Amino acid sequence: MSSELSPIDKAKFVAAKQASSYVEDGMKVGLGSGSTAAWLVKCLGERVEKEGLKIKGVPTSSRTAALAREVGIEVISLDEAKWLDLTIDGADEYDGNLNLIKGGGGSLLQEKIVATASDQMIVIADASKQVETLGTFPLPIEVIPFGWQTTKTLVEETLIGMDVLGRKVTLRMNGDAPFYTDEGNHILDMHLNRIGNARQLSLIVNQIPGVVENGLFIDICDVVIIGFGDGRVESRDINEGSVEEDRIEFVETENLFADLND
């Protein structure tokens, strides 16, 4: 691992490296989306190349699927897999109960479907993603394009009665055009600042016509692996109530990670 990596990238790498050790030969593994999950895919690809690891990966985005194939991971659909041993993904925020906000990359629907179809979900993150209360990161919701402005108005009206500090809702854009998910939907980002009751908000928002799914992952994550820029990793298991610390050394070498950029 090159010493030219930034502290944030080093933190992402060591978290991904630690998480990759949970994957065993023959497993069916959900592969998350985003920059941190990309490190995980690369780490697994390194194990495929050097150890002959044989796994089947179910990607949560087209970008992850392309990267997985590139590094030698067999890619299958969730319908083919039916059920997964493990899903490893990143998060935009997580709290002390390992509840998450996800969807910053726009893949929250596939990510939630895959995570809930798994025996275990592991989140890999750097320490900056931990918060006392969810809501600093804008909460995304996936909505169908038909009548999206009406859906947005209904969401804004619903937020009036919710325990949140902010109520601004914006359509996610891709340059001058609306952003489209892999399913052809839009993303509305809710700038809430603080979510007092995430479970209640998740249930109510999903009842609004036009909303497909929201980015709150409640009682889904089992383990969070936190990486630090100095090589330290901390693994928190919500089911075991345990916290373990470890350290991963960096090796100056040419390897699969040379071309990985955020």
Token representation of residue 214: 């929201």
- With CA atoms as reference, report the closest residue to 42 among 69, 4, 62: 69
Annotated binding residue at 105?
Answer: yes
Three-state DSSP state, 261? coil
What's the rounded Cα separation, in Å, for the pair 37 and 125? 9
Catalytic residue among 46, 111, 142, 213: 111
Annotated binding residue at 36?
Answer: yes
Annotated binding residue at 72?
Answer: no
Main-chain phi, psi angles of 154, to 5 degrees? -65, -40
Q: Is 55:73 a contact under the CB 8 Å cutoff?
A: yes
Annotated binding residue at 91?
Answer: yes
Q: Is 211:108 a contact under the CB 8 Å cutoff?
A: no
46 is catalytic: no
Token representation of residue 57: 């990966």
Annotated binding residue at 92?
Answer: yes
Q: Is 100:94 a contact under the CB 8 Å cutoff?
A: yes
Per DSSP, helices labelled H in 71-221 are 78-81, 108-116, 148-159, 198-205
What's the rounded Cα separation, in Å, for the pair 8 and 5? 8
Annotated binding residue at 33?
Answer: yes
Annotated binding residue at 210?
Answer: no
Annotated binding residue at 34?
Answer: yes
Annotated binding residue at 231?
Answer: no
How many helices, marked H, and strands, marked E, lie in the chain? Answer: 7, 17
Annotated binding residue at 103?
Answer: yes
What's the rounded Cα separation, in Å, for the pair 48 and 255? 13
What's the rounded Cα separation, in Å, for the pair 224 and 219? 13
Which residue ranges are tagged as binding site? 33-36, 89-92, 102-105, 129
Catalytic residues: 111
Which residue ranges are tagged as binding site for substrate? 33-36, 89-92, 102-105, 129
